[in-house]
Structure 1
């Protein structure tokens, strides 16, 4: 798992340096400006992850209610005029000097920790009573409402899908799960129809060439990048689309630059690394559950679901398979808060893996049989 994560982060740094060079040169006069900031964020994330890994999961579990409060407070704080910073029509950032903090990235991880604790403590209630089921649903509804107020439709969708996956894996009755999924789908549809701009963005992917200079502009430029890349790509650093043709080339549409410079082969390699990462995370969840460590299992499953869903959505958007959402590619796209949050999440999974190996039921069985130390 760690090897796949390091490989993705290293390749991400290289690709951000390549994809951002023109935009950085125009904005700051230095073509490496965004790459250097990305490297700093990666170093901060690695350091924060190391510290998080050293903290026992029991401490994180005790902090779960407080983390829920912090998550909701951050999502509310960004909406306060004078505190929240607006960019590209959305109020998603809080400025702290030269640093921009995106609360939704950190809040997502905090909510996963909270739900993992709730599912572990109230396992029977969640499966058998309506109250145990409605508590996490209420938290999800409140968090999504705050995200939609920014507005950040993509973050709300990923959060909802992640928490849905956690509830499903926790054994929520299929009828309740289907009802919740249907209600969320109806709410998402209503939110899309209520905003003409959002509706145009969501439907543009069906035929981006019908309006290639407005609602379909990002996607048409992304598809051109993939088309230019062919099987093996045009070569590292040789992308043309990143030269002000493709918006957000180093953030949301980084996969298009990967496809152009490294071709189908490079794109498939990236997808394979993400698949390996998510599979290994879910394997940690399974090991923790087998060992009776329910909190660790739910936590790892939540992180795996989050990363798998967000990667799939980002890649799907770049390839024209899904509507434009404005989501980054975890571990690879430029974005300091996203990088730090992802590093923290992976550190918690590594901690869960360590505790499952040391203290899980399987480990204790091996020790009792003389198969461990």
Structure 2
């Protein structure tokens, strides 16, 4: 008995996790925290921004020195664009969600107007596309902001009509006609890459709204047909398709970009030649700091650097879908999932055509490629996702009970309001009318021959006889 009692009092030793469990157990415990989505998104956003600035400086140094006489010209402009993007990131982080949804139609209409104005003499032509506004040396593409506005407004329409989405006319109208109008305006520039990303936004809205699978089959078939028609209309699009099918057909002409990108990736090996030591940026690879910056990453940082980029975008996909899944507001859920699909889809297209899996479309790698409009809008999207992360029910409860925390105090963020579903509408009551002889709203119809009907008939008869008597006295 004494031995058993001593054994019972002896505390049990817990085994410490070893190997992979030693890493996954603390990570799983950290992910259960209320603000884990918010902090993880900020970490990915910071890493992608810093990584992008470093690679833009490395990839653009030769081109910048050749065109401007300074190796830091493109890099300085990229830093300025990142500063403007951080302002929008902070504004999106502080903007109330109800205000976003309330003014989504106004913002979407303004973006449609800009897409129309860019086709007038107010727009500028670059790389064969009239898709830019230039004011005082600052240029931007309105189509980048149109993607965000379309996601916000489309989610508002679909959530408002979510009880009627089983009917095709409510599911497709007015979202699909508005998307077709945007496709037409962008293709008039022409800009096939931006049209593809807008199509991704439309598909994401329909998918996460619960559209039937046969609708996506028709959409993909229509997209393939439209791509073939557009390729037959423009020769340069046909050249991209033929180059993708046979890169060696014209190695010094149409296939030059694709082959040089593959050579840069192959030259990097496992660990790369070293940061800043790549040869492709010495006029061998066109657009090295923009469309083909992933090839420069593979050459200078090797396979390991490419994996780091893919892991960062994979984490972005995870945390974006986590934010969508953990929210209770249906509009936040739809917008967060759509914006995440757009960002990750664009990154997948860029990596795909650099490694030779897709035809070249000219889409930049989000937050890593140089370019003002792309960087600014991507930072705006991260700001929206960070705002949505703070609206998770567990995050709101923690912020209200424990305070804003270190990050909230540093950024001076207010406590978000909890989601309240809209109140159910009561059936409208018909207002009583003052017309003589009209039945009130609460009155019940009486059948002929009932006691109530006989009493009313007798009362009318008495009233009529009194009126006749008064008339006789007159």
TM-score, scaled relative to structure 1: 0.93
Per the alignment, residue 357 of structure 1 pairs with: 393
Whether 1:150 aligns to 2:186 is no
Pair 1:221 & 2:260 matched: yes
Shift of 1:287: 1.1
What's the offset of the Cα at 1:171?
0.4
Q: Among residues 175, 189, 195, which one is paired with 1:136 in the alignment?
A: 175
Look up the match of 1:300: 336
Contact kept, 8 Å, 2:200 with 2:345, in 1: the verdict is yes
- Asked if residue 315 in structure 1 is aligned to residue 351 in structure 2, the reply is yes
Distance 1:127 1:40 in 2: 47
- 1:242 has 2:281 as partner: yes
CA distance in 2, matches of 1:127, 1:67: 28
Query: For 1:123 and 1:104, how far apart are their aligned partners in 2?
Result: 27
1:43-76 per-residue CA deviation (whole Å, 9 max, x = no partner) reads 1111211012111111010111111111211211
* Structure number with larger C-alpha Rg: 2
Whether 1:274 aligns to 2:274 is no
Aligned pairs (5 A) from 1:1-373: 1-81=41-121, 83-288=122-327, 291=328, 293-357=329-393
Aligned residues: 361
Quote the residue 2:30 is aligned against: none
Quote the offset at 1:192 in angstroms.
Answer: 1.7
* Matches of 1:356 and 1:185, distance apart in 2: 39
Q: Is the partner of 1:26 in helix, strand or coil?
A: helix
Report the Cα distance in structure 1 between the residues aligned to 2:158 and 2:287, rounded to whole angstroms.
38
Q: Distance in 2 between matches of 1:126 and 1:216?
A: 46
Structure 1 unaligned regions, length at least 5 = 368-372
Larger helix proportion, structure 1 or 2? 1
Structure 2 distance, partners of 1:100, 1:178, is 38
Query: 1 CA distance for matches of 2:294 and 2:73?
Result: 20
RMSD (CA atoms)? 1.8
TM-superposed deviation, 1:129: 3.5
SS in 1 for 2:358: coil
Moved more, 272-281 or 208-217: 208-217
- Secondary structure of residue in 2 paired with 1:95: strand
Stretch of structure 1 that moved more, 277-286 or 186-195:
186-195
Distance in 1 (alpha carbons) for counterparts of 2:258 and 2:171: 42
Tell me, in whole angstroms, the C-alpha distance in 1 between the residues paired with 2:355 and 2:133. Answer: 31
Quote the offset at 1:359 in angstroms.
8.2
Given the two structures, how large is their TM-score scaled by the length of structure 2?
0.74
Question: Contact 1:330 / 1:338 at 8 angstroms: preserved in 2?
Answer: yes
1:127 aligned counterpart, secondary structure: coil
What is the deviation of 1:358? 5.8
Say if 2:118 and 2:130, in contact at 8 Å, map to a contact too.
yes
Task: Measure the CA separation in 1 of the matches of 2:51 and 2:76.
Answer: 14
Equivalent residue of 2:282, what SS?
Answer: coil
Asked whether the equivalents of residues 45 and 343 of structure 1 are also in contact (C-alpha less than 8 Å), the reply is: yes
**2:174 partner SS:** helix
